[in-house]
Structures are given as C-alpha cells and as structure tokens.
Amino acid sequence: MKSSRTISEIKDLLKQDVNADILEELAADERKGVQKLLVAYQKKIVAKQQLIEKFHQKEHLEHPYWERGQYVAGVDEVGRGPLAGPVVTAAVVLPPDNTLYEVDDSKKLSIAKRNELYKLICQQAIDISVAVGSPRLIDTENIYHATELVMADAINNLYLKPSHILVDAMTIPVNVSQTKLIKGDSKSLTIGAASIVAKVARDRLMQEYDRIYPEFDFIHNDGYGTRKHLDALEKYGKTSIHRESFAPVKNIHKLYQTPLT
C-alpha cells in the first residue's frame, strides 16, 4: 500500500521522531525509496538509544551525590605534554537533569563537535571554573605538581564548594573528598565535560599565541614538538611561552626576537 506522502515529504518527516502509526504506514509502503528511508531512520533511533544508554552509564559515579542533593565536580587537564604554552585545567559541576548525551573524552571528538558541546556545557552547567598554569610555574614545580596546583585553583575558584570531586588520574591538594579515575574523561560525565572545557580554553589560548609567534605553527600543533615547531625553535629561538625545563627547549640558548614590521 502506497502512502499518500511523497518521498521528499517522508524524508523531511523522518528528520524528527515519529509515532508508531506513521511507522506502520511507512512499513506498508512498498516503494524502495520509502523503505530505504525507514531503514536509515531505524538505524538512527537505535544509535540514539545506545548513546543515551552510554550516557546514563557515565552518570553512575555522580548519581549517589545527586540523589543526596550534593554537588559533585569533574576535573580534568589539557596540555601536560607540549613544549610550549600553559597547562589548563577545568572544574565542572553539572545538574542531574542535564542532557549532555554526546559528552566524551575531548580527544575523541572533532573540533566542531567539541565546540558544539562546549556551548551546551556552558548553557547547562551549574558552575564552571578554568585555571591556567604558566610555563614558568611548570618549570618551577615540574609538570605533574604544577597540574595538581592548577587543578586546585580550578576547584577553589568555583562559586560553590563541591561535596566530592571526580578527577582524571590525579590527586588534587584540596580538602574535598575525591575519586581518582584512570581515563576518567571516558568514564565520568563530569570529567568528560571538564576535558572539553579545558581543551577548548587551551586551544583558544594557543590560537592567540599563534598570532604572536606565527613561525611556530601553534594553531596546528598546540605547542607539541612537531617537525615544523622544532625547526622554528632552532631557527628563531625559544619564546616566552616555551617550557625551559622540557627537552629540547632547555638545549636552545637563542631567544626569539619579534620581527620588525
């Protein structure tokens, strides 16, 4: 039995959720084009259900605190490995009724998806704090301890004090109970949200540094030791955002001079 709807109308219709009566109508339509659209729609629904199931699994660490009406903060860092630029941390507190279904480890997401989710996190979060650790702090304290200190800054700069912290593989020097998770940004919704916020914040900083030091290609390498970055380091010298304690930066004695315009 052929539906009274055109293929084009059905295509537009299936861009949103439809009820069982419409699905039954389309299932009875023998046109190949309709059946292809119906199969694609059903696959999309299954994928959405799987996404929501995964989302709920990622909330299991937060739920005990939410059920008691308590705040739980997720904390993560970005930028421990680069030769240049700061280490950036973020603390995020989410409400129990959030709909951040696609939040995941920021490294698994495209730039476009990260930016999209960043906006959603900012819209839905109860509280967000970002902290920045300078290259000089990293050189003075070492990268691991500097990251701990900057994570503490992120927690202390929240407007509210969380009852518990979920953190990705670190111990934060604050007087708040915490759970340390290996690959926590993939296991916890709030840590995943923090990883996205920290990543977007640091990327934007590196974009600004790229305008100041265009020879180093920071917009593409985020301060990591790519061949173009290393070649520029040899040719132009180290800048004020390079980490003096990191090899090969510590072997470079030439200082970057701003080109005359």
Q: Which residues pair with 178 in a beta bridge?
A: 165
pLDDT greater than 90 at residue 88: yes
User: Are 123 and 226 within 8 A, CB to CB?
Assistant: no
CB 58 within 8 A of CB 195: no
Tokens of 47: 């994928």
* Alpha-carbon gap, residue 174 to 158, rounded angstroms: 13
pLDDT class of 163 with cuts at 50, 70, 90: very high
pLDDT at 38 over 90: no
The first and second tokens of residue 153, run together, are 């800054």
Q: Which residues pair with 132 in a beta bridge?
A: 88
* pLDDT (0 to 100) of residue 33: 85
Question: H or E element: which one contains 155?
Answer: helix 143-156
At residue 44, the pLDDT reads 78
Task: Give tens-digit pLDDT for 40-87.
Answer: 888 877 777 777 888 888 899 999 999 999 999 999 999 999 999 999
pLDDT of residue 37: 84
Percent of the chain with pLDDT over 70: 98
What residue ranges in 58-168 does DSSP mark as E strands? 72-78, 87-93, 127-133, 164-168
71-89: burial string, b at 16+ Cβ within 10 Å, e else: bbbbbbbbbeebbbbbbbb
Mean per-residue pLDDT for 11-16? 84
Name, in order, each residue with C-beta under 8 angstroms of 213's C-beta and a sequence gap of 6 or more.
239, 241, 256
Query: How far is 20 from 23, CA to CA, in rounded Å?
Result: 5
89-145: pLDDT as tens digits: 999 999 999 999 999 888 889 999 999 999 999 999 999 999 999 999 999 999 999
- Residue 30: pLDDT band with limits 50, 70, 90: confident
**Taking the model in full, what pTM does it have?**
0.85
Which of 230 and 37 is assigned the larger pLDDT?
230
Q: How far apart are CA 189 and CA 44, in angstroms?
A: 23
Integer angstrom CA distances of residue 126 from 3, 120, 165: 47, 12, 15
Amino acid 15: pLDDT: 81
Phi/psi for 194 (5° steps) reads -65, -35
Residue, of 172 and 26, whose pLDDT is higher: 172
pLDDT grade for 147, boundaries at 50, 70 and 90: very high
**More confident: 163 or 4:** 163
Q: How confident is the model at residue 178 (pLDDT cuts 50, 70, 90)?
A: very high
DSSP, residue by residue, 9-33:
HHHHHTTS---HHHHHHHHT---HH
pLDDT band at 1 (very low <50, low <70, confident <90, very high): low
Q: What would the pLDDT profile of 192-219 be if each residue is shown by its tens digit?
A: 999 999 999 999 999 999 999 999 999 9
Task: List the end-to-end C-alpha distance of the chain, in Å, as a whole number.
Answer: 74
Strand partners for 217: none
Query: What's the confidence (pLDDT) of residue 41?
Result: 81
